[in-house]
Amino acid sequence: MSSNSITSEEEPPHHDAKFHATSYLQFLKLAFKLCTEGSWLFYAWMIVLTAISLVGVHAWAVQVEQGMVVTAMNDHVSWGLYIANFTFLVGLAAGGVMMVIPAYIYHDRDMHDTVIIGELLAIASIVMCLLFVVVDLGRPDRFWHLMPFVGKFNWPVSMLTWDVIVLNGYLLLNLHICGYLLYKRFLGETPERKWYVPFVFISIAWAISIHTVTAFLYCGLGGRPFWNTALLAPRFLTSAFVAGPAFIVVVLQLIRRLTKFKVGEGSIRTLTGIMRITILINLIMMASEIFTAFYTGGAHAVSSQYLYFGHDGRNALVPWIWTSAAFMVIGAVLLLRPKVHEHLWTLDIACVLVFIGVWIEKGMGLIIPGFIPSTLHEWVEYVPSATEWKVTAGIWAGGLMIYTLLLKVAIPVFTKKVSGTRNG
Amino acid sequence: MSDSSSGGCGSGCGCKSSGESILNRRNLLKATGVTLGAAAFAKALSPLANWTREETSVEQFLQNHYRELDEDGLKQVLARLEEDAHKNYGAKVTIGDHRPQKGVKFGYALNLSICIGCRRCAEACHHENNHDRASGNSYIRVLEMQKGSMDMEHGNAHYDHPVPHPDKFYMPVQCQQCDNPPCVDVCPVEATWKEDDGIVVVDYDWCIGCRYCEAACPYHARRFNWTKPEIPKEEINPNQSYLSNRIRPQGVMEKCTFCLHRTREGQMPACLEACPTGARIFGNLLDPKSEIRKVLDTKRVYVLKEELGTKPNFFYFFD
């Protein structure tokens, strides 16, 4: 086959455009091959995810056709499960930075070897975020109105336009960093620092910005006392730095078991160390908010009262939030045990618990009480409809598919199992 | 040529290089899988294709923002919308483009001492503005309030007994047409804005339906079209305006426009005309001799949620 002619020649120190044109094509071909081949377990996993995402795609298509009346949202609770998941996933995307900081600022060697796993997670999470915004639109056909220069972009006044900028910017930054590093590894060359290190440092600040701006979407609304608190952005960040590392620790353990990728003990230790602190700060902030609300009472406490204890027999959120609180506290205790590293399965349990805990807290526990009671003090509860669950599951399945495929490409390339220049 | 450069990828990912032919079993399986997957995706998306065919058009997709349309462009849009109303609802309607008048800024005042909570204003709004019949939508919500408190915490919008109840008073709430409207600030696509006469409007053909404005409004003044509005042909109010009471598309926001198709022509809003007690007073805030100015000058008026700094142009007073 003539496709691999570049392998037989001496590589020039500086490649011209023609070289990149052919070798990049090779890279894409290899990537395609890598992410479509695997064990039966891999195929089964992908088939299950495809099936779930198909259910979601269909539910969304029906929603567009019949209107958002098929959701449980209404003029009182006008955002629901979609925006709840969006908010949480911005945090998951930002959470990956907890690998980037140790790797690039503290030069943690183990972390440096595994940091790409966090950066790829950011890509998959941001894609899911954007999908959750799209499915929440009443008129997805008018998405182009939201594009700078083409549509009408209400920047800088609308915080949503800031979110469009920071989320897409973060996606591009991570695509560039991961793409560049993978391509260089594929060529068998050492990546040039100037082509990625500056972007890595920008991405660190950018990660903070995505979750801060997302918090500003809510805390800037004076008519919603539940969200109108300066603590919202710091709390968003702290909980993101719980959920992000928790997810990555589980992924690292899975990779260690399922592939030959060397995951250094140091990465897991560092991430656990980070979680031990962030989960405590998050619990302190939660206590502080609860104290302020309940001790003061009045208008600011009504939504919190409803969230934690219900109101007049209405208690749709009570089981959610107490599950979250219990998971967070149990997770914190497990994480803080001195011997957590000797029993890795307890670490896994702790990670799953805090991940679900934050998903509830930053999702249903944050978005829904903002609308209950309504601004005219009407009590309308919200329980997501079947359509919303299907679409939500579909997007999560799609995101996991993307993440799986990205890892399928990245791991062999990084372990030098494959490359375009040297073979065997 | 090595193994990894021809068939399989070398090692590590579990694939095998099983010969030169690309028609091997694995590739055939893969191709079948991809085809089936693509077919399933197309099938799953079929409701979307229906909707695109029946409810959207190229002209509509490419339509520019209301404030960017020139005279000709607007004329075409209005003609098309009238045609759509005929096609979709069987009704002959006229859709005008009513512009703000110079030297006018509208204000509204409501006398809480004489409002009896009959909700005729809400009903008039429902008919005047071509609201969806099934949901009984209206831009006005009337709260039955507990005497002894101005707090909406003690209000109830769902009362169902003869009015006025002797122990209660009634407070209708609708868009306050704020001078500092949070709903306008948050809109990411400038689909909603404040006109020169103070009315906050929505371009229903530009709104993307993100509902951020609905979250931002402190007065529950905004409504979303959760489905395509259903109105019997004979009940449709044919006197319509682009920015106010024309039948809204599915999936966009709407709100009270002080009946701009009436008030910009010198008429009173429908809710005022329906009020049996004369509790509602509407007029030009810039005209010192107007009735609304007389109320502001002589009565003790207040606005809702003043502490939020939204600067409403809707005032409440007691006699």
List of chain B residues whose C-beta atoms are within 8 Å of the C-beta of residue A373: 153
Backbone angles phi, psi at B212, to 5 degrees: -65, -35
* pLDDT band, very low/low/confident/very high, at A264 (cuts 50, 70, 90): confident
Contacts of A217 in chain B (CB under 8 A): 212
pLDDT digits (tens, 9 = 90+) for B55-101: 889 999 999 999 999 999 999 999 999 999 999 999 999 999 999 99
Give CA–CA dist A92/A363, Å, rounded.
12
Across the interface, of A3, A69, A224, the residue whose CB is closest to B215 is A224
The confidence score (pLDDT) of residue A289 equals 94
What residue spans of A297-385 are helical by DSSP H? 299-309, 318-336, 344-362, 364-367
Chain A residue with Cα closest to B52? A65
Closest residue of chain B to A163, computed from CA coordinates: B188
Q: Which range among A350-354, A377-381, B54-58, B137-141 shows the weakest confidence by mean pLDDT?
A: B54-58
DSSP 8-state secondary structure symbol assigned to residue B63: P
Q: Do A334 and A347 touch, CB atoms closer than 8 A?
A: yes
- B209 Rama class: left (phi>0) / alpha (psi -120 to 50) / beta: left
| Strand B301-302, strand B314-317: pairing | antiparallel
Specify the higher pLDDT residue, A415 or B254.
B254
Place of tokens 């377990």: A41
> Does the beta-carbon distance from B212 to A161 stay under 8 Å?
no
Subunit contact A138:B30, Cβ cutoff 8 A: no
DSSP E strands, B41-105? 94-96
Cα gap A384→A379, rounded to integer Å: 16
Radius of gyration over alpha carbons of chain A, in Å? 23
The closest CB to that of A160, out of B209, B212, B223, belongs to B212
Asked if residue A351 lies in contact with residue A249, where contact means CB atoms within 8 angstroms, the answer is: yes
Q: Give B173's strand partners.
A: B141
Name the 3-class secondary structure at A176. Answer: helix
CA distance A354 to A422: 44
Judged by CB atoms closer than 8 Å, whether chains meet at B13 and A38 is answered as yes
Domains located in chain A, CATH noted: 38-414 (1.20.1630.10)
Which of A74, A141, A412 lies closest to B61 in CB terms?
A141
B66: tokens are 């209301």
Q: Which residue of A has its CA nearest to B38?
A: A54
Which positions 170-229 of B are in contact with A (Cβ < 8 Å)? 173, 182, 185-191, 206-212, 214-220, 222-228
Which residue in chain B has the smallest CA separation from A260? B12
Question: How sure is the predictor about A419, in pLDDT bands with cuts at 50, 70 and 90?
Answer: low
The residue in chain B having the minimum alpha-carbon distance to the alpha carbon of residue A374 is B220
What would the CATH number be for the domain defined by B106-317? 3.30.70.20
Which of A2, A75, A168, A213 is the best substitution to test chain B (most B C-beta atoms within 10 A)?
A75
What is d(CA B73, CA B66) in angstroms, rounded to the nearest whole number? 9
- Model ipTM? 0.92
Q: Provide the pLDDT for residue B17.
A: 47
3-state DSSP assignment of residue B91? coil
C-alpha closest to that of A223 among B209, B138, B309, B154: B309
CA of B15 to nearest chain A CA: how many angstroms apart? 6
| Mean of all residue pLDDT scores within chain A | 92
3-state DSSP assignment of residue B146: strand
Residues 6 or more apart whose CB falls under 8 angstroms from that of B147 comprise B167, B168, B169
**A226 Cβ contact partners less than 8 Å away, ≥ 6 residues apart:** A300, A303, A304, A369, A370
Give the type of residue at A301.
Answer: A
Which pTM value belongs to this model? 0.93
Helix (H, G, I), strand (E, B) or coil at A56: helix
Residue A412 has its nearest CB partner, among B12, B219, B252, at B12
Q: Which residue of A has its CA nearest to B254?
A: A75
Q: Which amino acid is at A397?
A: A
- Whether the pLDDT of residue A161 is over 60: the answer is yes
What angle (nearest 5°) sits at the alpha carbon of residue A406, between those of residues A403 and A412?
A: 130
Whether B18 contacts chain A with CB within 8 A: no
Count of Cβ atoms closer than 10 Å to residue B214 Cβ: 24
Kindly list the residues from chain A whose CB atom is less than 8 angstroms away from the CB atom of residue B134.
none
Question: Residues of A with CB below 8 A from B250's CB?
Answer: 67, 138
Instruction: Report residue A195 as tokens.
Output: 């082509």
Identify from B210, B256, B304, B305 which residue to disrupt to test chain A contact, counting A C-beta atoms within 10 A and taking the largest count. Answer: B210
> Hey, of A5, A41, A145, which one would you mutate to test binding to chain B, going by the most B CBs within 10 A of its CB?
A145
pLDDT digits (tens, 9 = 90+) for B98-131: 999 999 999 999 999 999 999 999 999 999 999 9
Q: List the single residue in A with minimal CA-CA distance to B142.
A: A376
Contact B210 A33 (CB under 8 A): no
Helix (H, G, I), strand (E, B) or coil at B116: coil
Whether B282 has a pLDDT exceeding 50, the answer reads yes
Under 8 Å between Cβ of A141 and B59: no
Note the pLDDT of residue B159. Answer: 95
Residue A226 to residue A218: CA distance in whole angstroms: 9
Nearest to A50 among B30, B37, B190 (CB): B37
| Closest residue, chain A, to B153 (C-alpha) | A377
Closest residue in A to B55 (Cα) is: A65
Contact A37 B14 (CB under 8 A): yes
Q: What separation, in Å, do the N-terminal and C-terminal C-alpha atoms of chain A show?
A: 18
B227–A221 C-beta distance less than 8 A: no
All residues of chain A having their beta carbon less than 8 Å from the beta carbon of residue B143 are: 376
Structure-derived torsion over alpha carbons of residues A388, A394, A398, A399, reported in degrees to the nearest 10: 40
CA distance B290 to B281: 10
Among the partner-chain residues B222, B252, B309, the one whose CB lies closest to the CB of A139 is: B252
Minimal CA separation from A7 to chain B, in Å: 9
Measured in whole angstroms, how far is the alpha carbon of residue A289 from the centre of its chain?
Answer: 25
* DSSP per-residue string spanning A401-418: HHHHHHHHHHHHHHTTS-
Task: Please write the tens of the pLDDT for every residue from A334-355.
Answer: 999 998 888 889 999 999 999 9
Cα–Cα distance for residue pair A199/B69, rounded to 1 Å: 42
Please give the average per-residue pLDDT across B227-249, as a whole number: 97
Reference A143, options B189, B286, B193; nearest CA is B189
Cβ distance of A65 and B50 shorter than 8 Å: yes
pLDDT 10s digits, A90-107:
999 999 899 999 999 999
CA dihedral B267, B270, B276, B280 (to 10 degrees): -70
Residues A316 and A49: their CA atoms lie apart, in Å, by 29
Weakest mean pLDDT among A71-85, A221-235, A403-417, B219-233: A403-417
Token code pair at residue A153:
């972009």
Cα of B49 to nearest chain A Cα, Å: 9
- Strands of B168-173's sheet, edge to edge? B155-156, B141-146, B168-173
Do A222 and B37 make contact, defined as CB atoms within 8 angstroms? Answer: no
From B289's Cα to the closest Cα of chain A, the distance in A is: 34
**Mean pLDDT for chain B overall:** 92
